[in-house]
Amino acid sequence: MNWKTTNRAALASLLAIAAVCGNLAGCAGSSQSTSSAAETTPAAETTTAAGAVKDGTYNATGTGFGNGDVPVTVTIEGGKITDVTVDAGTQSDGYGKDAADGLAQEVIDGQTYDIDVVSGATMTRNAVSDAVKEIMTEAGYDMDAIAAAKEESKGEDETVDTDVLVIGMGASGSVAALKAAESGARVLGVEATETLGGMGNAAQGMFAVGSVEQKDRYGEDGETTDEAYWYNHFQERNNNMGNSKLIRTFISEAKNTVSYMLNHGVGFFLSKQPQQIAHFDTETVYHRWNNADPFTYIGQALDDNGVEIRYSTTATKILTDADGNVTGAECTKEDGGTLTVNAKSVVVSTGSFANNAALMKEVLGEEVYSNAMVMAGAELPGVDMMWDIGASRG
């Protein structure tokens, strides 16, 4: 099989998915505190003498999802972080809110601001990390020494070869990886978090027009299954500011995604009362999951087809040859080591732009951005990596 390198097409597909799947969850308040004595040998303790750190209770605020404030309170006793409180009241219910307690505990266990990325709560994690870093600096920790210690303790570098590299194993990336593997390719996926499916786990279903379920219920005719009607409907709702090519592609392909998911054990039912604000139409186009966790089925299919997934691994650079052809990517592993992947084809599906306000405004323009609704995202280097090698900006 001839595997062609993709970059612009991957970006177009990613933007199309993000445009439609961005409005999935609400927000609720949360303030959680965690305290315990760290049993490990923490990075900060090994690089900063306890006497140089000023004990006390410190406060700082990071910026989380939706530019919401995430206040963090840290108590330091005997040169150690003994208590952390994270107020995630501005963060998404079920994601940033629920991650608060675990993030606080990670700070205590590691005695560091450098905590793990959490699927669906990346911006909350970043807010906590930034606030704790500010607090540790104020308390007198030697931040340069901590960074140097991390560099010295990083894991071994490694190089692997594969047919297809998928960067970002969220909703789109996991299915892309599976389809490639089913077509005979050797596939490696890298995922910055520890969870398959990414923000797809926030969804209760998906939009589709002309699916087998709809045609069974409504037949071939009528607005519910009419792609032209729904294209005009989308454009009217966004004041004709949407990317017409991406919208047409999304509407045309969504029904095929439903069929593909059905073939892999994911059930659907047509819901007249969807629970998410993105699906407010009276027509029955929202396909609710009929199983609680669709990515359990996709994950099993990935395993069955031999797809290797490296979790807690972040792609940082797309590699090219002398002629500008994409040849793979450079990634940072959880232990700090570098993973170099040589690949015949690279699919980028990171979704790492939706909550980057500056980037969104630059690409979409102020008017479109002000009329857009987006959900959680991150500021990982996904889109920037493609631009760095010459991918089109629009």
Per-residue pLDDT reduced to its tens digit, 91-135: 877 778 888 999 999 999 989 998 877 766 778 888 999 999 999
Contacts of 107 (CB under 8 A, 6+ apart): 74, 81, 84, 113, 115, 128, 132
Give the span between the Cα atoms of 284 and 291, in whole angstroms.
Answer: 19
Query: Do 115 and 195 belong together in one domain?
Result: no
Residue 375: its pLDDT value, please? 56
Number of domains comprising the chain: 2
Per-residue pLDDT averaged across 343-353, rounded?
88
Decide if 66 is inside a domain: yes
Residue 336 exposed, middle or buried by CB count within 10 Å (0-12, 13-18, 19+): middle
DSSP-derived secondary structure for 350-393? --TTTT-HHHHHHHH-HHHHHT---------SHHHHHHHTT---
Q: Are 369 and 359 in contact (CB under 8 A)?
A: no
Tens-place pLDDT, residues 188-225: 999 988 889 887 877 788 888 888 888 887 776 666 77
Tell me the residue range of the domain where 269 lies. Answer: 8-25+157-388
Decide if 2 is inside a domain: no
Kind plus residue range of the DSSP H or E element containing 136: helix 122-139
Closest CA to 87 of 76, 67, 103, 107: 103
Percent of the chain's residues with pLDDT above 70 = 79
CATH number at residue 116: 3.90.1010.20
Helices 294-304 + 171-182 axis angle, to 10:
30
What values do phi and psi take at 314, rounded to 5?
-110, 120
Query: Do 261 and 289 belong together in one domain?
Result: yes
Closest CA to 201 of 351, 88, 331, 66: 351
The DSSP output letter for 67 is G
Strands 326-332 and 338-348 turn out to be antiparallel
Query: Do 15 and 86 belong together in one domain?
Result: no
Among 98, 127, 152, residue at a domain's last position: 152
Query: Do 50 and 91 belong together in one domain?
Result: yes
Among 137, 152, 167, residue at a domain's last position: 152
Per-residue pLDDT averaged across 288-317, rounded?
91
Query: Do 134 and 208 belong together in one domain?
Result: no
Residue 136 has pLDDT above 70, yes or no: yes
pLDDT band, residue 384 (cuts 50/70/90): confident
Decide if 30 is inside a domain: no
Decide if 283 is inside a domain: yes
Query: How many helices (H) does the chain have, and how many strands (E)?
Result: 13, 13
**How open is the CA angle 89-92-96, to the nearest 5 degrees?**
80
CATH number at residue 278: 3.50.50.60
Query: Do 145 and 193 belong together in one domain?
Result: no
pLDDT band, residue 6 (cuts 50/70/90): very low
Decide if 393 is inside a domain: no
Contacts of 148 (CB under 8 A, 6+ apart): 47
C-alpha count within 13 angstroms, C-beta hemisphere, residue 152 = 9
Closest CA to 83 of 26, 128, 34: 34
Query: Do 250 and 370 belong together in one domain?
Result: yes
Length of the chain (residues): 394
Among 97, 123, 152, residue at a domain's last position: 152
Give the span between the Cα atoms of 194 and 336, in whole angstroms.
Answer: 15
pTM: 0.68
Residue 38 has pLDDT above 50, yes or no: no
Residue 8 has pLDDT above 50, yes or no: no
Query: Do 236 and 287 belong together in one domain?
Result: yes
Query: Do 94 and 190 belong together in one domain?
Result: no
Residue 294 has pLDDT above 60, yes or no: yes
Residue 372 has pLDDT above 80, yes or no: no
Residue 272: its pLDDT value, please? 67
Give the span between the Cα atoms of 71 and 85, in whole angstroms.
Answer: 8
